[in-house]
Structure 1
């Protein structure tokens, strides 16, 4: 029986969402096949948490733990950390140095996809469309007129390396840009400002399932708010419609592009790419490599539509990681 660590938590604003994802993974992994442990990763502690709430410190030198006077080493790690350090390459590099298989993509791919600016620049030569954008770093002078002339209004101000819509604002007036930029700087010292794309938003999951790259059924996102913000994502203020109500032509087009992105970047494990259709063409917003994993999250919804339950989805991720 393989010993599995489900890592959750993290160092970013997404830690609470990660804890929920990790608990769902822990609950659904087949206990007849795996001995499963929850591992909380926080800046001040790395601990194994048992069902009674007892904590056992992780030895960071080899990612082991002494649990009930028995030393535990892990055969595989299921990564359920959204944001840093689970989605930006740090944990991937750590486990790769230790030689411990893990369910997410490799260190470089994680760092690349987590950096919106670098991701879009990497994919542009492959014909992947994206919104007009403008970059600004902490300490730069904010030239509102120059920003508006480049991306127009309304526009989106986003933290370059953050998820779950933390550090994102929709700006309608140039005088509001400064406040939106400062809000984004609370999440990251790099900011990307993008033109507003008015169209149908969709999310496309791509996974490696039973050794094959599989594009999952597409989800259409209809936010009750001004955009797909935190409340829309996690507090029920949106409709997530799977399968999406789009034409077969659009389905084939965006599925092909999502698969292309997965292959071009050399991804493995789970990915979820976000697009907005404009004039019949999908424009890429971002790629998530550790997407939400609760039953209500988008990728599990898509897997269910494809006939894959959570037990099989998570178990397959472990088996794929062990075979890499």
Structure 2
């Protein structure tokens, strides 16, 4: 398929279900990703079937007509493959992947175990350290408890363990304000990570799995923080984000990032595409976090990274659909 070519399936052109929305604070971001994916999929020649999951968990058609779960399953099973463009909890964390697996619909992206691991920043840290990828020193804090070990010295970054789009993330330079930052993070999760702030450039890289199982790594992308301490929600989605791609890093740093990203992709069991966010410091690279279903509008980081490698947005979407189809178990009957 290689991106811009439609795929002829039994009974007509490939039918792609694009799912957006979700029951979390990233609902609107997901809708934007889904709209972008749908547009690119049409350019590929696919027949697009849009579905939305509301903030309350109810399903609807692309036109906004409410449908029950039974109808959603019927529509999904009428499609060849699904592209779940959901971010955050109850979506990217493996829940939707498990649902699609249960009803026998092939889908783009990681399966449930990888989604769970990648969404959990604490577990991701443990896995990264186990495979030799450095992370910032940090302590896990649970709701209603004090940390079992000493907190890192300020400055620190306080963030929910399982949340995205920088919701609930606070840079803290005064130790007296850590508790307030923890309370704010607990509004998004019942576990909070308090990490030593890392001084370095914020550089991301993405990995896509091809249909033959080989991994392709994107050029790195550097985020211009604009003088801020963290890449916050307002800057991410307020139209002021600035990226440099390819990032101006040395060959040795690029090779180190590529190796770490490949290692983590395999260690976490990712599939499809994943984005790996690093800090580039004077002493080496430090993992910030992993996204198994990153933002996916044409202006988002991953499409921009692959555009720098010569891939159009439509080709990127098409490649991901091809990967999903290559790994699918063919159902004898669509119903």
Fold conserved (TM > 0.5)? yes
- In the TM superposition, what is the alpha-carbon distance from 1:221 to its structure 2 partner? 1.2
In 2: Cα distance, 1:75 partner to 1:119 partner: 32
| 2:104 equivalent in structure 1 | 99
| 2:220 equivalent in structure 1 | 218
Q: Which has the higher contact order (CA 8 A, sep 6+)?
A: 2
In 2: Cα distance, 1:125 partner to 1:106 partner: 22
* Between 277-286 and 289-298, the greater mean CA deviation after superposition: 277-286
- In the TM superposition, what is the alpha-carbon distance from 1:266 to its structure 2 partner? 2.1
| 1:278 equivalent in structure 2 | 281
Matched, 1:36 2:41: no
Matched, 1:249 2:252: yes
SS of 1:86's equivalent in the other structure is coil
Across the aligned residues of Structure 1 and Structure 2, the Cα RMSD in angstroms comes to: 1.8
| 2:172 equivalent in structure 1 | 171
| 1:4 equivalent in structure 2 | 16
- In the TM superposition, what is the alpha-carbon distance from 1:141 to its structure 2 partner? 3.4
- In the TM superposition, what is the alpha-carbon distance from 1:238 to its structure 2 partner? 3.6
| 1:68 equivalent in structure 2 | none
| 2:139 equivalent in structure 1 | 134
| 2:6 equivalent in structure 1 | none
SS of 1:203's equivalent in the other structure is strand
Contact 2:128 2:135 in 1 (8 A): no
| 2:240 equivalent in structure 1 | 237
Matched, 1:195 2:199: no
Within 5 Å, which residues of 2 pair with 1:1-324?
1-30=13-42, 33-42=45-54, 43-49=56-62, 53-60=63-70, 63-65=73-75, 73-141=78-146, 147=150, 150-211=151-212, 212-224=214-226, 225-324=228-327
SS of 1:179's equivalent in the other structure is helix
With the length of structure 2 as denominator, give the TM-score of the two structures: 0.88
- In the TM superposition, what is the alpha-carbon distance from 1:54 to its structure 2 partner? 4.6
Contact 1:48 1:58 in 2 (8 A): no
What per-residue deviation string (whole Å, max 9, x for no partner) do you get for residues 130-167 of structure 1?
00001111111379xx64xx411110000000011001
With the length of structure 1 as denominator, give the TM-score of the two structures: 0.91
In 2: Cα distance, 1:321 partner to 1:58 partner: 26
What per-residue deviation string (whole Å, max 9, x for no partner) do you get for residues 47-104 of structure 1?
122xxx3515153487124xxxxx9722211010011222101011111111110101
SS of 1:88's equivalent in the other structure is coil
Gaps of 5+ in 1: 66-70
* Between 30-39 and 301-310, the greater mean CA deviation after superposition: 30-39
Check 1:142–1:256 CA distance in 2 against 1; reply closer, same or farther (3 A cut).
closer
Contact 1:201 1:274 in 2 (8 A): yes
Moved segments of 4+, more than 4 Å: none
How many residue pairs get matched?
312
In 2: Cα distance, 1:276 partner to 1:54 partner: 41
Check 1:119–1:32 CA distance in 2 against 1; reply closer, same or farther (3 A cut).
closer
- In the TM superposition, what is the alpha-carbon distance from 1:193 to its structure 2 partner? 0.5
Contact 2:205 2:275 in 1 (8 A): yes
Gaps of 5+ in 2: 1-12, 328-335
Decide which structure has greater strand share.
1
In 1: Cα distance, 2:123 partner to 2:299 partner: 30
What per-residue deviation string (whole Å, max 9, x for no partner) do you get for residues 227-268 of structure 1?
211122122334210000111111111111111111222211
SS of 1:249's equivalent in the other structure is helix
